[in-house]
Amino acid sequence: MAEKRIFSGIQPTGRKHLGNYIGAIRQYVEGQDRGEAIYCIVDLHAITVPQDSAELRERLYDTTAILIAAGLDPDRCILFRQSDIREHTELCWLLGTVTAWGDLNRMHQFKEKAEQQRELVSAGLFFYPVLQAADVLAYRATEVPVGDDQRQHIELMRDIAERFNARYGEQLVVPEGRYPEVGARIMNLQDPETRMSTTYGSEQGTVYILDPADAVRKKIRSAVTDSGTEVRRGPDKAGITNLIEVLSVVRDTPPDGLEREFKGQGYGDFKAAVAEAVVEYLGPVRERYEELRPDEAAIEDTLAAGAEKARAIAAGTLADVRRAIGIGAPG
Ligand code: TYM
């Protein structure tokens, strides 16, 4: 079988949190050992809701530095900025012509984000999943590591690829989503029925990757749990279940092993253990980030080198796709 080609994208907005890290970034790092890994910082997705221009650039550098600090090695993966590769927007349009409007209209994330917009719900926000499909399909990627919240977008991109191939011949690869077994959906610590997210949910319940150790400790120690006493997973124990999943990932220990380990111990001790483990897990990332982030010229160089490699792949796909559709000069 051909080597896997892994692709994923991450938005340069807000502050990246523990959910992003556990659900996605951790898988990106590991992807470098499993195949050809391509990762994109999706600034064109970010502007589907209003952004301050200067801030957008800052957040793009933040996100790039976080990814490198987390273990992405620009010599072992392709790391680039979406807006550097114009093929994404061109393919987005072309794929839009084989995307059902009704399918876009059913996207949960569109509905959620649209509700939060006070002034304008942009057509770009509606088209967001088509651009996401273009990101992946331009590279003929086989695998897309993401968190659980992206399932509907992945299903849609598979449908789009299949519809395109049915109409124009086998041009595109139909990718598979890859969701972590544990930690695909990290919940807000103050509201464990809601996914941890930068755009909603309490700030106090969101652990940011760059939070200082004391802030991490405080947030985890004050996590909302239940009125019981047992450290185990259960449908009526969303808070504890979430903390068990977090600890399972950061300690690389199966959840049932942790349930045995903490049997008979109180929630206070358990939360303290989770807090220390997360502090230890994120500490080195934050330290490397502090070293990397000030050198914006070096970050730009890394992104430019990544863009060059990305462009070579995407341009090949676009040439095939244009030919198959019958647009542009023949040749
Ligand atoms: P973004 O930046 O919002 O999220 C980045 C990744 O983090 C995952 N994630 C979570 N995982 C577990 N628990 C959580 N609470 C949690 N919150 C977020 C997301 O699933 C995602 O994998 N639409 C994408 C960006 C994108 C993309 C792509 C992804 C654009 N083009 C192509 C894959 C392939 C997004 O949500 O980014």
Total residue length of the chain: 331
Span from the CA of 154 to the centroid of ligand 1 (angstroms): 11
Q: Is 190 helix (H, G, I), strand (E, B) or coil?
A: coil
Where does the pLDDT of residue 13 fall: very low under 50, low under 70, confident under 90, or very high at 90 and above?
confident
Residue closest by Cα to atom 16 of ligand 1:
19
In tens, the pLDDT along 265-301 reads 999 999 999 999 999 999 999 999 999 999 999 999 9
**CATH 3.40.50.620 spans which residues of the chain?**
5-178+295-325
pLDDT higher than threshold 80 for residue 331: no
Best probe residue, ligand 1, of 6, 11, 81 (max atoms within 8 Å of C-beta): 11
> Is 245 in contact with 186 (CB distance < 8 Å)?
yes
- The number of C-alpha atoms within 13 Å of 3 and in the hemisphere containing its C-beta is 10
In tens, the pLDDT along 47-68 reads 999 999 999 999 999 999 999 9
In tens, the pLDDT along 195-246 reads 999 877 789 999 999 999 999 999 999 999 999 999 999 999 999 999 999 9
pLDDT higher than threshold 60 for residue 4: yes
Instruction: Name residues contacting ligand 1 (CB within 6 A).
Output: 7-11, 19-20, 22-24, 42, 45, 132, 135-136, 144, 146-147, 149-150, 153, 184-186, 195-197
Atom of ligand 1 nearest to the CA of 11: 2
Predicted TM-score (pTM) of the model is: 0.97
> Dihedral sign, CA of 19, 22, 24, 25?
positive
pLDDT given for residue 2 in this prediction? 53
Atom of ligand 1 nearest to the CA of 20: 7
Mean pLDDT value across residues 88-109:
97
**CATH 1.10.240.10 spans which residues of the chain?**
213-290
> Is 223 in contact with 189 (CB distance < 8 Å)?
yes
Q: Compute CA distances 12 → 9, 91, 306, whole Å.
A: 10, 21, 16
In tens, the pLDDT along 109-164 reads 999 999 999 889 999 999 999 999 999 999 999 999 999 999 999 999 999 999 99
Structural fold of domain 213-290: Tyrosyl-Transfer RNA Synthetase (1.10.240)
Q: Which CATH superfamily is domain 5-178+295-325 in?
A: HUPs (3.40.50.620)
> How far is 8 from 225, CA to CA, in rounded Å?
33
Atom of ligand 1 nearest to the CA of 145: 22
Radius of gyration of the chain (CA): 21
Residue 40 is inside which H or E element, if any?
strand 35-41
